[in-house]
Amino acid sequence: MPPSMEQRYDGVEVFSATMVSQRERIGEKVIAWLDAHPERVPVDTVVRQSSDSRFHCFTIVLFWRVARA
């Protein structure tokens, strides 16, 4: 990356669930991960849902940066 361009994020964490019980708790999973990694500051989030005739998949993609002093 050219030095003049600021890096938008340092990493990505993906949370995915297909079962109903998993989808109902996915928010808790994201919050637990954020609590366990306070040095990682979210900078963007993408939410996706996909389905077929039998299953529904819910995905949250969290882009983060390391907190800088």
As given in the structure block, the two tokens for residue 4 are: 């003049």
- Structural domain total, the chain: 1
Tell me, yes or no, whether 43 lies in a domain: yes
Alpha-carbon distance of 38 to 66, in angstroms, equals 9
Tell me, yes or no, whether 44 lies in a domain: yes
Tell me, yes or no, whether 2 lies in a domain: no
CB-based burial, 7-42: b 16+ in 10 Å, e otherwise? eeeeeeeebebeeeeeeeebeeebeeeeeeeeebee
pLDDT at 1 over 50: no
Tell me, yes or no, whether 26 lies in a domain: yes
Local structure of 7: helix, strand or coil: coil
Can you give the CATH number for the domain in which 43 is found?
Answer: 3.30.1660
Tell me, yes or no, whether 4 lies in a domain: no
Q: Considering only CA atoms, which of 52, 58, 57, 60 is closest in space to residue 12?
A: 60
Give the residue numbers spanning the domain of 18.
11-66
Q: What is the pLDDT of residues 8-63, one digit of tens each?
A: 899 999 999 999 899 999 999 999 999 999 999 999 999 999 998 888 899 999 99
Tell me, yes or no, whether 53 lies in a domain: yes
Q: Report pLDDT for 54.
A: 83
pTM of the model as a whole: 0.81
